[in-house]
Amino acid sequence: MKKQHPTYTSTTNACKLCKPLGACLAFKGIEGTVPYLHGSQGCATYMRRYIISHYNEPVDIASSSLSEKHAVYGGGPNLKMGLTNVTEKYQPDMIGIATTCLTETIGDDVGMYLDEYQRECGKANNLPGFVNVSTPSYSGTHMEGFHGAIHQVISQRSKGGTATSTVNLLPGFVSSADYRLLHEIMGDFGLDCTMLPDLSATMDGPVRDTYEKIAAGGTPLAAITTMGQACATLEFGRTLRDIHSGGHYLQETFGVSLHRLGLPIGVEETDKFFQQLQTLSGRDIPAKYQAQRGRLIDAYIDGHKYVFGKKAIVYGEEDLVVGMCALLAEIGVFPVLCASGATSGKLADAIAAVTADILPRQPIIHEGMDFFEISELSRSLAPDLLVGHSKGYPLARKLDIPLVRVGFPIHDRVGGQRILHLGYSGAQHLFDTITNALVEKKQADSEVGYAYM
């Protein structure tokens, strides 16, 4: 089925978020860092509200608060004033500066402003470090902003030197629970790991007696500095382009070997991840993960009759869509439509790489989609469920089918930051959720409302 290309440029309910939002989330996963938007106050307000709704944690995003005047005369003075205010109020170790559409359109040179600011401050010993990234929303998605920020953090902060036994892990944008799981896995293989970013605590922390202006946790800045000395980099992202890849930068600049994998969602993709960890560590897979894998396969067998032959529409961030397609194909659910608002040009090949030996035919795959287009295509596809974030709820309600919530943002349920997607345990959670959603739908539609499976 071909996507009908309109004769106009318009988006109705985009299947993506803005580039600087992704950069802010990346900065939130770094120790002692305050995200800072060089642009209007409205951008920062919108992003804070959007992120808070998913994580249910306080989120501060500073802003240079430009007005109409600065669109004419430039935002340099406001940028510098804002940096001084943030430094005094938060005393951060680093400020991560992302641009917005306004400042990119008027052509503000943030790098030049930062150089001027540091010269003007002289030898002041209370200045934090600075990292800046170009993130105009009109040029990409929140995932490009996220990966672009990580790339700039590495390129502006990392140094080479004597090689160590440390392994860099660049997992991309996953849930706080996923980051915690990755810490556990790397530790169980005995690998000294620098994971960038790390939102495991900064965006899902314990309740505290006093408010912390900057949440504890995140990737240590000292560890980022030594990433160029690591023995290897593991990077998740089958659709990731080299221009946004921190792993590619480390390989090209410092000679750190790069191993790029898909998000370890489902059995096969997790197997590849664990096989790579075996090679790097020289250790066998720990018994607890072998047991998890065995229980997962047993669950696939137990629930197969409830999910086999069902059809799903999968949407959202490209690499999450790829991972979810890998899982769905394994359990017998056919992804009839795979859609993303991104336009990497790699989505179809990535999905084929993880499903070609399982699915009888490839699903319909479209990049650059919005929810209006997804809704239009869904009419003839008769899906049994939707798989994606909360923005798909109106369509699920319209089609009267379940929505299995994964990824970001999840605004209409509690615990989006605690959804486990990765590893065998993540696949177990997702399989149970998908199966129970289908069983619940069948149960609700039954005239007798049966209570025994």
Q: How many CB atoms lie within 10 A of CB 151?
A: 22
* Residue 248 falls inside a structural domain: yes
Whether the per-residue pLDDT at 297 is higher than 80: the answer is: yes
What value, to the nearest 5°, has the Cα angle with vertex 385 and ends 380 and 389? 110
Q: What is the pLDDT of residues 128-181, one digit of tens each?
A: 999 999 999 898 999 999 999 999 999 999 999 999 999 999 999 999 999 999
What contacts 448, CB < 8 A, 6 or more positions away?
Answer: none
Average pLDDT, the chain: 95
Single residue among 237, 256, 281 that ends a domain in this structure: 281
Question: How many Å apart are CA 234 and CA 170, to the nearest integer?
Answer: 6
For residues 302 and 400, membership in a common domain is answered with yes
What value, to the nearest 5°, has the Cα angle with vertex 432 and ends 427 and 433? 95
Q: What is the mean pLDDT of residues 239-267?
A: 97
For residues 36 and 61, membership in a common domain is answered with yes
Single residue among 245, 261, 281 that ends a domain in this structure: 281
**H or E stretch covering 327:** helix 318-331
What value, to the nearest 5°, has the Cα angle with vertex 167 and ends 203 and 59? 10
The residue ranges of DSSP E strands in 220-341, in sequence order, are: 232-236, 257-261, 311-315, 334-339
Whether the per-residue pLDDT at 432 is higher than 90: the answer is: yes
For residues 32 and 177, membership in a common domain is answered with no
DSSP class of 207: P
Whether the per-residue pLDDT at 6 is higher than 70: the answer is: no
For residues 441 and 310, membership in a common domain is answered with yes
Tokens of 53: 């709704």
- Of the candidate ranges 3-7, 315-319, 426-430, the one whose mean pLDDT is the lowest: 3-7
Whether the per-residue pLDDT at 8 is higher than 90: the answer is: no
For residues 260 and 344, membership in a common domain is answered with no
Considering only residues 446 and 330, tell me which one the structure prediction assigns the higher pLDDT: 330
Whether the per-residue pLDDT at 3 is higher than 90: the answer is: no
For residues 297 and 440, membership in a common domain is answered with yes
Question: How many Å apart are CA 312 and CA 337, to the nearest integer?
Answer: 7
* Residue 357 falls inside a structural domain: yes
Contact by Cβ (8 Å): 245, 147: yes
CA distances from 249 to 105, 164, 257, 397, 436 (A): 27, 18, 10, 44, 43
* Residue 9 falls inside a structural domain: no
Question: Which band of pLDDT confidence, cut at 50, 70 and 90, is reported for residue 450?
Answer: confident
CA distances from 217 to 24, 98, 430 (A): 16, 21, 27
CB burial of residue 320 (10 Å; 0-12, 13-18, 19+)? buried
Q: What is the pLDDT of residues 410-424, one digit of tens each?
A: 999 999 999 999 999
Q: What is the mean pLDDT of residues 217-237?
A: 98
Domain that holds residue 331: 287-445
* Residue 71 falls inside a structural domain: yes
Question: Which band of pLDDT confidence, cut at 50, 70 and 90, is reported for residue 9?
Answer: low
For residues 293 and 250, membership in a common domain is answered with no
Question: How many Å apart are CA 182 and CA 186, to the nearest integer?
Answer: 6
Place of tokens 């170790």: 93
Question: How many Å apart are CA 138 and CA 144, to the nearest integer?
Answer: 11
Contact by Cβ (8 Å): 78, 108: no
For residues 339 and 196, membership in a common domain is answered with no
For residues 270 and 299, membership in a common domain is answered with no
Q: What is the mean pLDDT of residues 179-198?
A: 98
Whether the per-residue pLDDT at 207 is higher than 60: the answer is: yes
For residues 115 and 181, membership in a common domain is answered with no
For residues 309 and 435, membership in a common domain is answered with yes
pTM for the whole structure: 0.95
Percentage above 70 pLDDT, the chain:
97
* Residue 3 falls inside a structural domain: no
Q: How many domains does the chain have?
A: 3
**Residue 27: CATH number of its domain:** 3.40.50.1980
For residues 267 and 122, membership in a common domain is answered with no
CA distances from 367 to 3, 4, 261, 312, 342 (A): 10, 12, 21, 17, 6
Question: Which band of pLDDT confidence, cut at 50, 70 and 90, is reported for residue 452?
Answer: confident
Q: What is the pLDDT of residues 328-362, one digit of tens each?
A: 999 999 999 999 999 999 999 999 999 999 999 99
The pLDDT, as a whole number, for residue 188 is 98
* Residue 157 falls inside a structural domain: no
The pLDDT, as a whole number, for residue 7 is 59
Q: What is the mean pLDDT of residues 248-266?
A: 98
The pLDDT, as a whole number, for residue 2 is 58
* Residue 246 falls inside a structural domain: yes
* Residue 11 falls inside a structural domain: no
Chain-centroid distance of CA 423 in Å reads: 16
Q: Give the residue ranges of DSSP H helices in 17-168.
A: 19-28, 41-55, 68-73, 76-90, 101-106, 110-121, 142-157
